[in-house]
Structure 1
Amino acid sequence: MTTIETRRIAVADLINNPDNPRSDLGPDQDLVELANSLAKDGNTDDCHVVPVADGEDAGKWMLLEGHRRKAAALLGNVAELDCKIRHDLDTKAKQIAFMITANTHRENFTEMDTARGVQSLLDCEGMNVKAVAKSLSRGEKYVRSRSKMTKLSPAAQGKIEDSTLNIDQALELLAFADDEKAEERLLQVSDKPNDWEVRLAAEKELRAWRENLPRLTAELQGAGVQVVDRPEGPQWEWKDFYPTYNDHEVTEAVEQDLIAIVHPDFPKITWARKREERKPWTPPERTPEEIAADVRRSEIIRGLELAAPVRESFLRGILKKPTAEVLHHLALDMAEQLDLAQAAYWLGMEEHEEIDDQEVVDEIAKLSTDQLIVLTHLVRHGREELLTELASWARDTGYMSTGPWRESLQHSYGYQWTEAELDAIRHIAEQKAAQQEGGDNAHSA
């Protein structure tokens, strides 16, 4: 018996597969269009099914591919569909692998659909990461990462479904599965790449701080440093301590008799000195607005510290692989800083009377990136006005030199000298040779 055969099967005998990884059949309007197409032309793409041998649906057919076509057929009152019977897919694992592969490039098949499908495969008897990777022609890392995604919270999975959380972010988020507030803060910025990196760095720092806090506390106490809890509330009204926000070594803290104030939500030691009773001190009254302003300022400063490496990483990435859009904006920025009179000259606008600066700027804005680069070089480095003077052909260095411009003309622009220009070059060379010879003769005399 062949492993694949084709026949027409009644839509009523087609059973939806409970392991189908695809959760969304697409917009209703698309189903209506497909229903009309099926009613008119039939299904040009065969459904794929396997026979149901047991249970109340015995004798019917389980869909592997074609759930959307079945839904459209019911909508369009189509009685039968062409189906391929897949006797070769004789295990649940083979069937799930087939459904994942068949749906991978289909519209409305999300990364979470893939993740759930991969996990279903892993749950099949006799399947492990290596076997699943082989059945899907994927790497083991891919299988592990998709399996992990099924452990994300519903909120995170929803973000993946609507494409506001990518795979790399999702895998980072798994580390905060036991911290609902941290996850919530990260999800709030998941669609803003730079803010995500800043928030992620902050959450990692805070998590590392909390994990390290017992060891750090024991180390401080072992060295003879008193460790106390940070006062409650963001205002931290220091009635009993003189706080210092400088970093101190433990040995230095011991020598200065400093107290270490720590808190799980503030990833840094605040060093303080106990107020001496003989030196009573009453802190100045501060308004709630002043306190809030100080807290806000410290939050902003910390945010800037976290944002700096994100920004630097972004710019290094742009340097390695600049996009066409970035190149165009940079070229336009440079061009807009040019001498507008010179730019107008090269754009051929000096022939028109009464041209104002804005008209020149508008013309510059119309140029392509390549044109902007050439215009910038022409205006900044061009020395055309000097090349009508023979003496300028002899100036190779200095402010009024034409040497670099002549070099650019020949090697960067690929300009071929005319006979008139070659004559000037030869004349200058002859003069220099004569001067050199005269100098040599004077030395020998």
Structure 2
Amino acid sequence: MSPSVSVLPGGLRVCVESVPQYGRGLAAVALTVAAGGDDDPAGRHGTAHLVEHLMFPRSGGSSADPAGEGYAALVAGAGGVCNAETHRDHTVFHTTVPAELLPDALSWEAGRLLGFAPTEDVIRTEIDVIAEEIRGAGDAGRYWESALGALYPGSRDSFGTPAELAGITAGEVEAFFRSHYKAPRMALSVVGDVDPARVMAVVREVFAGVARTAEETRAAEAPRTAREPRTTEQTHAAREPRAAEAPRTVTEIRTAPLPAARAGVAVGHPLPDPVADRPAYLAQAVLAQVLGRSRLPALARSARDGRCLTSATVTCGYHGQWLASAAPDLTLAVLGRAPATEVGAAVDIWRSVLRAVADGPLPEAEHRRAVNSLLVAWHRQADSLPTRVVALGRDALLLPGSAGPDALPAELRRTTPAEVAAAARALLEGPVTVTELAPQKGTVG
């Protein structure tokens, strides 16, 4: 059954998909909010990430949770699981429960939105948790964020900065929440062994307070809005990243070296808009597979014969998650350099590999393998309720006009070798960031 999409009076998008063949007695819920690292206030980098954490601790009691157990405890007590992710342009919360408990899960979801009121003590605790997450984050994330920030000045990573969060107050946190966690900036998606009509009836009932809150907020802010139009309060269908500018037009942007375990270079390229130029975006996803699965590994295996590359990975999309973010986004190549190999020499090899694909034609068998690898990954994810419900919410909020997750295989199959060659030419001709990965003392170069 195709997903049903509705917009409630307050502006909340609701997407429901009945897939009992995947659900098998389960239901998944995702709340996607158009608020991420790019929306962090100046001097408070990490606010969006902090709010994500604060949606989970003990609530201290509310109409939805009178015992004060907190959302995670309620879900666990029902035998379910829940988690969340903060991205550059959105935050998503996802929960999976037995299908018969879906009304309860929807009520808990609405309850934590309506009862959001973190204390200073809880805020300090969660800031410490975030600091530990940042310390444990992998190198690849730093490379990606560096490249995006160079191509789009003002873009912010999703983690945050502990030093900037250290002084944040409960008032600042609540102000961010009130500004961004509004019905028009949210999508609620439900997938599983469910009856769409019954789901919508429950949603209309338990989320009525969220819609009223949005309407009351708009009414209260109307005088200020009349004097100062707020471009950051658009619905996400027309929303562009608030802080990010267009890519610089210079050919190459050198960024400050980053510490690494081994010598290397990270090369970043902007991606097409997945909404306005979807075929070109999907061609870039196929190109990343061609480069990362066959062209570059073959060169890396030849390093002992005098080649410059010792390893190579190529990812397309937000930290390697394609179609997980609206524009701006990027393709990132992380290339290991053999001893005494200069950064420029490694970049030249990267460009020569791109040129070989651009000059094509790409062999049909190689093209088919790349497309098939993406299709296999998609089918594995489609069987996962949490992945499917998150994709449905992202499509509704970030990628308006998308035909839904099940349309993607056909779109990928329509990608041609000529389009992949054009994708390679676009990377060669567009702006690029180059970041040296410099080994620290005591590491192997």
- On whether the aligned pair clears a TM of 0.5, the verdict is no
Structure possessing the higher relative contact order (Cα contacts under 8 Å, 6 or more residues apart): 2
TM-score category (smaller protein): under 0.3
TM-score in terms of structure 2 length: 0.21
- Relative to its length, the structure with more strand (as a share) is 2
Q: Which has the larger radius of gyration?
A: 1
